[in-house]
Structure 1
């Protein structure tokens, strides 16, 4: 169950990171509330995951899911462009996440 909590926490991190773009510096009420709810949900699920998973591993995977997912979301939602080198780095982040899970 802890791994499921960690995955959900990572998805919630993507939610709030993308939400930041829509808050316009927390000047828009609804996007700000939605973003803050995402932050709370992300920390809630992360706290559930670290009850049984090692903190360092859980934190690395959480931030990795959030980072990689936010990059993909920004490309899809905002038309951000990636260089070949950036794509390579993204692949390494995902590889690190998979490695931490499989070797844990």
Structure 2
């Protein structure tokens, strides 16, 4: 369940990042409200996930997934152009996220 919450949190990151761009420096009310609500929900769900997933892994997956989703949404809506290299690098981000998810956790040694 924490992993599902983490990916929901990443989706919410994409929502608030997109809303931030649409808010026009917080002069547009609806995108500004979506930004603040999305930000609060994204942080709350990230905080929950980090109770069960190490912060180093959770943050890397959250930020990478959120960034990739933001770019994918921008390309899907036509606000950003898609290109071969952009898609290749986004695929690399997703591959790294999958790799982090598949790693077996281990206990850190205390010196």
Please give the TM-score of this superposition, normalised by the length of structure 1.
Answer: 0.94
Please give the TM-score of this superposition, normalised by the length of structure 2.
Answer: 0.88
Q: Say which one has the larger Rg.
A: 2
Gaps of 5+ in 1: none
State the 1:22 CA deviation.
1.5
Q: Which has the higher helix share?
A: 1
Number of equivalent positions: 104
> Cα deviations across residues 32-69 of structure 1 (Å, max 9, x unaligned)?
01111000000000000000111000000001110110
The equivalent residue for 1:73 is 73
Gaps of 5+ in 2: 105-111
Any runs of at least 4 consecutive aligned residues in structure 1 with deviations exceeding 6 A, and if so which?
none
* Counterparts of 2:77 and 2:19, CA distance in 1: 11
